[in-house]
Amino acid sequence: MLELRKEIFADERDDNLKEVGQPTQRQDMLGHVTGTSAYYDDHRLAGLLHLKVLRSLHAHARIRSIDDSAAARAPGVKRIIRAADVPVNLNTLLSLIQFGKDDEPSLATDVVRYKGEPILGVVATSEHAARQALDLVRVSYDPLPAVFDVEEALKPGAPSVNAIYPKNTFEYYDKYDHQKLRFGDVEAGFAQADLLVEERYQMSPIEHAPVETNGSIAVPDTNGRFVVYTSTQALFFSLDTAAKINAMPSNQLHFIGGTVGGGFGGKVDTLTEPLAILAARLTGAPVRYRLSRHEEMQFGSPRGAERIYIKDGVMRDGRILAREVRAYFDSGAYTRLSSYAAVKCAAHIPGPYTIPNVHADVFCVFTNRTPSTAMRGFGVTALDFALECQMDKLAVAIGMDPIEFRILNAYRDGDMKAHRREAKNCALIECAQVAAEKANWPIREEFRRMSSRQGGGVTRTGGGADRTPARVTPAATTTGPPQRVAYERPAAAAPAHPPPPAPPRSAPPAAPAPAGSTHGAPRFSSVFGTRRR
Amino acid sequence: MAKHRGRGVATINYPIGMNLGGDPSQALVHSNPTGKFSVALSSIDLGQGMKSVTRQICAETLGVPVEDVYVDTADSDTGPHCMGSFASRGTHRVGNAVMAAAREARAVMMEAAAEELEVDPGDLETDGRGSIRVKGAPHRSISVRDVAIAAQFRQGRTISGRGIFLVPLSDVDPETGEMSPATCYAHACLIAEVEVDDETGEVTVLKMTSAYEVGRALNPRLVEQQLVGGSWMGASHALYETPEPYYPDTRDGPRDFGDYLMPGPGDLCPHDISVLERPAPDGPFGAKGIGEMCANPVLPAVANAIFAAVGVRIDELPITPEKVLRALKARGGAAPARAR
C-alpha cells in the first residue's frame, strides 16, 4: 500500500501538473507481461558462434605453461583466443573518467589473482563444443600464497595481490592508501562524552542475481563496423571500454541494448563485450558470450564485502559528540569500481546526522577473490547497516527511544555536514515522524513538532531565544573551546537525566498532520491489492 | 521454546547521482510530421521504469498527452550519450536532460503554432490534450498535429530539441575529504516487525512500515514498485543471501538458485508505505532517485528488530538461523529487549 502525504511540504510544490504524478501504465508493460520484450539474447543470427573462457583453478598462482593444442583441434572449435590476441589487454573501468591505473587483464598472462579469472577463450560452433574444448586445455600452475581478509591484506608481509598496487590498497591522490574525512576533533569529543560505544560490523558479499545473466552478441556489420547486442547497464561506458580494449575507434561499434533483465549494478563491468567483439573480429562471424548461472554466481563480480568499525561518543541527553569510522572495502583482485565506492562511503559518513566531530578512514583493499563491483546502494548500503545498528545501540545505552534519538540528531536545513557542505532540502525528521505515526510507535509531542526546516545551522540551546547563526566550521584540532557548544540541540529528556523544561519555541515548526488525518491523500497499490482513492 | 516479536527502526538518506557529479546525460526530442514525439536516449531501462518516467516528464514539459510521446532507449547510433543506469541517477540526470530537450522542442512548436494562428507565441498555451490555444480565447486553437504538419511542410521548421544535464565534477580535498558529493538527497524511515523462533533461530519479517521522501513521485505506481521490490531485496540481504557463506573463507559458494538462498513470494510481508515530496531544487519537477535507497533501511531495521525481540545483536550479515542460535546460546536464551 502506498499513500501520498501531499500535505507535508505542500508549500514547496506546484501540484498543478497533468502527466507528472499520474499512475500511468509503463510504456513497456505489454511486452513484459506477455513475454515479448526483446532482450539481447533474443537475436537469432545465422552462423552464430559461442565463446567460453577457461577460468583459473587457483586463487593466486603463477602460470607456468598453457597447452591448448588439443583444444584447438577439438570438434567445432573455430578459434582459440589468447591474452596475446587482446589488443589492449590491461584496463581499469574508471580509466574512462581518469580515475585509477590499468590493473586488470581481459585474459590473464603470467599470474592469476583469483579463482575463476579468465585465462583463455574458445570460440566454437556451440557452447557445448566450447566447453568440451576447454576441458582439453592443460594449464600448469605454481600456486602462490593468497590473502582473503581485508585486514590481513594490509599487514606487513601479506602476499601482494596485484603488482600495480603492491601494498594491496588503492592509492588516493597519489599519496594516501585510503580516503580521509576530517571534521572537528573526535578526540576532544570522546573526552567530553558521557559514553563511548565502539563496535565492528561485517557485511558479507551478495550476488546481484539478475534473472538474465551478463552477456552480449557481437555481429560483424558492413564497412568494418560491429553491431553489439548487450545486457549492459551503461551503453556508452561499455562501448568505450570495448573500444579501448580492442583498440578500435568508438564509431566502429554500434551498441544496441536498452532492455535488461535485471542489473542492480552487476552489468556495468563490461564483462563480455570486449572479448565477444574480438572473437567476431577474429572469426568474421557473429559471436555470443554469455555467463552461465554458475559463472554469474561465482565469477560475475558480487557486491563486495565491507568491514566497518564505528566508535561514538554520546551524551546521556542524546547528543552525539563524536563519530570515528574505519571502513574496508574488499575489492577482490582488481579495482573495477570499488575505489569510487570508498569515496562515496566517506562522503556519506556520519550518516544523516549532525555530529560536530567526525573522523573517517576508508580503504579499498585488494584480496585474492573475485573482483567485486557496484551494487544497488554502492558505498552506502553496508555503512547504513552499520550506522543504524550503531544508532540503536546508542539509544539503548542512554535509555532513549530510538526514533526520538534519531530525530534529535537528524540533520536539518542549514547544518554543516562533515564533508563541509551545508545541508538543505532535508526531510529525515518528517520521514521518522510519519513512519512512527503509521506504525503507532509513540514519540513525545516535542519530537512530533520538530522540523527539518527549523533549528538548523544555529545554536540549539533549547528554545527560541538564541537564533544566532553559528555556522560550524571545525575547530583547530588541538585548541579552541569545546566544539559542541555550537551544535547544542534542545536537550531531550532521557529518563535518567530529565532536562530542565524547554522554553516554548518562538515559532512552532510545521507539524505533520495528526495520526489518522489522511484526508485528500491519494492512495495507490499496484502491488498489494487494488488501487483506491 | 517460543516465538518472540520485536520492532526495529532505521532512518537513512541517499545521495542522488554519481558521487562528485561529472556524470552527464543527453536527450533528443523530435516530432514526426503528424505531431507524435520521440525521445531518443542511450539510457537503459533495467525494469525500473526509465522509459515511463522520461515519457511523462517529456509529455508534461511539451504539454501534450503521454500517449503522444514514445521513448526509444539504448542505441548508440541514435541515442546521445548517457553515463548509464546506476547511482540512482536516471530520474534526476536523464529526466533533466529530457526536460531541457522538451523545452527546446516546445519553443519551436509554439512558434510554429503562433505563425499559424497569427498571434504572439507568448499568448499561447497547451491544453495537455493535444491542442494549442490562445490564452483567454480557447476557441482560437490549433491541434499539435496541424502545427507539426505546418512546421514540416509549410514553414520548414524542425520541432525538435536537445538536452543535456551535468552536475560539474567536484574536487576532493585529500586531507579533509571536503567535497560536493551530491546536489540532493532522498530520505527514509522504515520500521520492521519480526518474529524470531528461539528454537530454530529463524527470523520472519512480519510487516514493514515506511516513509520515503522522494522529491516528487513522478509515477506513484513506479515508486511503489521500486520501494516494494527494494524492501524485498533488503530483507533478502539481511536474512538470506551470500555467495560466500563463511566469508572471508571462500568455501561453499553457491552455483545456482538451488543453493543461493533468497526469499520466495510466500516470504513477502505487507509493507505500508507513505511517500513525502520535498522537491529537490534541481530535480525534474523536484524528483530525486529512489532506485538504490529502498533496500538500505531494511537491513538495520531487521537487525534492530531481532534485538528488540530476543535481545541479541547480530552485526554480521546475513543474519542466518545459525548466527541467531549461536548468539542466543551465548546469551543464555532469549530476552526481549523491551516491548515496542
Q: Residue B298 maps to which CATH number?
A: 3.30.365.10
Task: Report yes or no on B290 lying in a domain.
Answer: yes
User: How far is it, in rounded angstroms, from Cα A117 to Cα A108?
Assistant: 7
| Distance from the A83 Cα atom to the nearest Cα atom in chain B, whole angstroms | 27
| Distance from the A463 Cα atom to the nearest Cα atom in chain B, whole angstroms | 25
Q: Which of A17, A26, A360 sits opposite B52 (nearest CB)?
A: A26
User: Is the Cβ pair B177, A237 closer than 8 Å?
Assistant: no
Task: Tell me the pLDDT of chain A averaged across its residues.
Answer: 88
Roughly how many angstroms between the first and final C-alpha of chain A, as a whole number?
12
Q: What is the pLDDT of residues A281-336, one digit of tens each?
A: 999 999 999 999 999 999 989 999 999 999 999 999 999 999 999 999 999 999 99
Interchain CB contact of A153 with B (< 8 Å): no
Residue of A nearest to B221 (CA): A23
pLDDT tops 60 at residue A126: yes
Strand partners, A61: A112, A143
Q: What is the pLDDT of residues A383-432, one digit of tens each?
A: 999 999 999 999 999 999 999 999 999 999 999 999 999 999 999 999 99
pLDDT band at A96 (very low <50, low <70, confident <90, very high): confident
User: Is the Cβ pair B219, A22 closer than 8 Å?
Assistant: yes
Residue B54 and residue B148 in one domain: yes
User: How far is it, in rounded angstroms, from Cα A326 to Cα A312?
Assistant: 12
Last residue of a domain, one of B137, B165, B193: B165
User: Is the Cβ pair A236, B42 closer than 8 Å?
Assistant: yes
Q: Give me the percent of chain A exceeding a pLDDT of 90.
A: 83
In DSSP notation, A265-282 reads TTTSS--SHHHHHHHHHH
Residue A484: per-residue pLDDT? 30
Under 8 Å CB-to-CB from A343, ≥6 apart: which residues? Answer: A172, A179, A362, A379, B19, B20, B172, B179
Residue B186 and residue B327 in one domain: yes
User: How far is it, in rounded angstroms, from Cα A476 to Cα A478?
Assistant: 6
Residue B250 and residue B316 in one domain: yes
Interface test with A, best of B13, B175, B226 (most A CBs within 10 A): B13
Residue B256 and residue B289 in one domain: yes
pTM of the predicted structure, to 2 decimals: 0.92
Q: Where are the domains of chain A?
A: 48-144+208-299
pLDDT band at A498 (very low <50, low <70, confident <90, very high): very low
Residue A491: per-residue pLDDT? 47
Residue B58 and residue B11 in one domain: no
| Distance from the B154 Cα atom to the nearest Cα atom in chain A, whole angstroms | 31
C-alpha cell, A38? 526483446
Q: Which domain holds residue B37?
A: 25-165
Task: Report yes or no on B174 lying in a domain.
Answer: no
Reported ipTM: the value is 0.97
Interface of B with A in 142-171 (CB under 8 A): none
User: How far is it, in rounded angstroms, from Cα B328 to Cα B334?
Assistant: 6
A41 or A489: which carries more pLDDT confidence? A41
Interchain CB contact of A262 with B (< 8 Å): yes
In 3D, which of A252, B83, A159 has the Cα closest to residue A242? Answer: A252
Q: What is the pLDDT of residues A444-457, one digit of tens each?
A: 999 999 999 999 98
Whether B81 and A235 have beta carbons less than 8 Å apart is answered as no
Residue B153 and residue B236 in one domain: no
Interface of A with B in 12-51 (CB under 8 A): 12-13, 17-28, 32
User: Is the Cβ pair A426, B237 closer than 8 Å?
Assistant: no
User: Is the Cβ pair B337, A396 closer than 8 Å?
Assistant: yes
Interface of B with A in 52-91 (CB under 8 A): 52, 55-57, 59-60, 63, 65-66, 70-77, 79, 81-87
Residue B41 and residue B160 in one domain: yes
* Mean pLDDT, residues A15-44: 95
Residue B210 and residue B299 in one domain: yes
Interchain CB contact of A1 with B (< 8 Å): yes
Residue B11 and residue B36 in one domain: no
Q: Which of B60, B116, B125, B292 is catalytic?
A: B292
Judging contacts by C-beta atoms under 8 Å, the chain A residues touching residue B55 are 24, 27
Task: Report yes or no on B304 lying in a domain.
Answer: yes
pLDDT tops 80 at residue A525: no
Under 8 Å CB-to-CB from B247, ≥6 apart: which residues? Answer: A202, A204, A205, A305
Instruction: Report the CATH fold assignment for A48-144+208-299.
Output: Aldehyde Oxidoreductase; domain 3 (3.90.1170)
Q: Reduced to 3 states, what is the DSSP secondary structure of residue B188?
A: strand
Residue B140 and residue B250 in one domain: no
Residue B338: per-residue pLDDT? 60
Residue B243 and residue B326 in one domain: yes
Cell numbers 544508532 correspond to: A391
Judging contacts by C-beta atoms under 8 Å, the chain B residues touching residue A302 are 243-244
Under 8 Å CB-to-CB from B67, ≥6 apart: which residues? Answer: none
User: Is the Cβ pair B177, A181 closer than 8 Å?
Assistant: yes
Under 8 Å CB-to-CB from A348, ≥6 apart: which residues? Answer: A379, A380, A383, A384, B15, B181
Interchain CB contact of B8 with A (< 8 Å): yes
Q: Which of A4, A343, A388 sits opposite B220 (nearest CB)?
A: A4
Task: Report yes or no on B172 lying in a domain.
Answer: no
Task: Report yes or no on B170 lying in a domain.
Answer: no
B292 given a catalytic annotation: yes
Q: Are strands A523-524 and A2-4 parallel, antiparallel or unpaired?
A: antiparallel
Q: Are strands A195-203 and A306-314 parallel, antiparallel or unpaired?
A: antiparallel
Residue type, B197: D
pLDDT tops 60 at residue A467: no
Residue B217 and residue B133 in one domain: no
C-alpha cell, B93? 540526470
In 3D, which of A420, A378, A13 has the Cα closest to residue A180? Answer: A420
Q: How many CB pairs under 8 A join A and B?
A: 430
Q: What is the pLDDT of residues B148-189, one digit of tens each?
A: 999 999 999 999 999 999 999 999 999 999 999 999 999 999
- Over chain B (340 residues), the average pLDDT of each successive run of 10 is 95 98 98 98 92 97 98 94 95 98 98 98 97 96 98 98 98 98 98 98 98 98 96 96 90 91 90 98 97 96 98 97 97 78
* Mean pLDDT, residues A345-354: 98
- A340-344, A477-481, B92-96: least confident range: A477-481
Residue A458: per-residue pLDDT? 64
Interchain CB contact of B226 with A (< 8 Å): no
- A34-41: long-range contacts (C-beta < 8 A, 24 or more apart)? A37/A259, A38/A259, A39/A212, A39/A231, A39/A259, A39/A260, A39/A261, A40/A215, A40/A216, A40/A217, A40/A229, A40/A230, A40/A231, A40/A256, A40/A257, A41/A212, A41/A215, A41/A217, A41/A229, A41/A231, A41/A288, A41/A290
Residue A106: per-residue pLDDT? 98
Residue type, B41: L
From the centroid of its chain, how far is CA B87? 10
Q: Which of A232, A406, A525 sits opposite B11 (nearest CB)?
A: A406
User: How far is it, in rounded angstroms, from Cα B227 to Cα A432?
Assistant: 17
Interchain CB contact of A326 with B (< 8 Å): no
pLDDT tops 50 at residue A505: no
